[in-house]
Chains A and B, each alone.
Chain A
Amino acid sequence: AQSVTQLGSHVSVSEGALVLLRCNYSSSVPPYLFWYVQYPNQGLQLLLKYTSAATLVKGINGFEAEFKKSETSFHLTKPSAHMSDAAEYFCAVISSGSARQLTFGSGTQLTVLP
């Protein structure tokens, strides 16, 4: 069964600093990987997805993620944090089989300090 692990339940960065949120996956078949963001009292918004095309995926709001099969990782990065990036971020996986439900990581709360 596929799963994802997010390292660090809380990450704090200064405004303008690099954002790095870590996600490792476990899947016996090629996975589809996603990053979603949840702002306070809102639903989940898709940031980006990996579906076996390019390994470097660019998303919305300046975020990107790189799929590394050798490291089973799909870390999310942004070169320069903005105050508006403060939110909870979820990594998720779907196997490429017939089952299409998302399996989510436990989430990482990003705090951006002024």
Chain B
Amino acid sequence: DSGVTQTPKHLITATGQRVTLRCSPRSGDLSVYWYQQSLDQGLQFLIHYYNGEERAKGNILERFSAQQFPDLHSELNLSSLELGDSALYFCASSPRSSSGGPQETQYFGPGTRLLVL
């Protein structure tokens, strides 16, 4: 158990709908990263938040958005869902480094499996 929690574990929805995935980082970790794992694209970085602020964006679609709240949990919002959005969505967290920024080691949650029908 990494200490990172994600809910829900499974989500089935229809095209055009909107869903919210939730992530709680390990106690004390300030960074949250979101990744998407799909059969055709593999594991891809979506977005990184550090202490409430967006730090980096990867291959995240405009239909997707995220935020990190004051209690450090994060939500990934996926809207106007398409069949191709079906994937496993992972959240990861990392500790604060001695220099003040995020440490390089990331600890992954169990993922949310999204199926769009």
Query: Which residues of A are interface residues toward B (Cβ below 8 A)?
Result: 32, 34, 36, 42-46, 49, 51, 90, 94, 98-104, 106-107
CB <8 Å contact, B104 and A43: no
Q: Is the CB of A107 within 8 A of B108?
A: no
Whether B65 is near chain A, meaning CB under 8 Å from some CB there, is no
Give B79 Cβ to nearest chain A Cβ, in Å: 23
B contacts, CB < 8 Å to A: 2, 4, 31, 33, 35, 42-45, 48, 55-56, 58, 90, 92, 94, 101-102, 104-111
Contact yes or no, B104 A49, CB < 8 A: yes
Contact A101 B33 (CB under 8 A): yes
Chain B interface SS verdict (over half): strand
| Docked complex Cα distance between A107 and B111 (Å) | 17
Q: Can you give 12 A-B contacts (C-beta < 8 A)?
A: A43-B2, A44-B108, A49-B105, A51-B104, A98-B101, A100-B33, A100-B56, A101-B48, A102-B33, A102-B45, A102-B92, A107-B42
B31 to chain A, nearest CB (A): 7
B2, B43, B105: the one contacting A45 at CB < 8 Å is B2
CB distance from B8 to the nearest CB of A (A): 14
5 further contact pairs, Cβ within 8 A, besides A46-B106, A100-B101, A102-B92: A99-B56, A101-B33, A101-B56, A104-B44, A107-B43
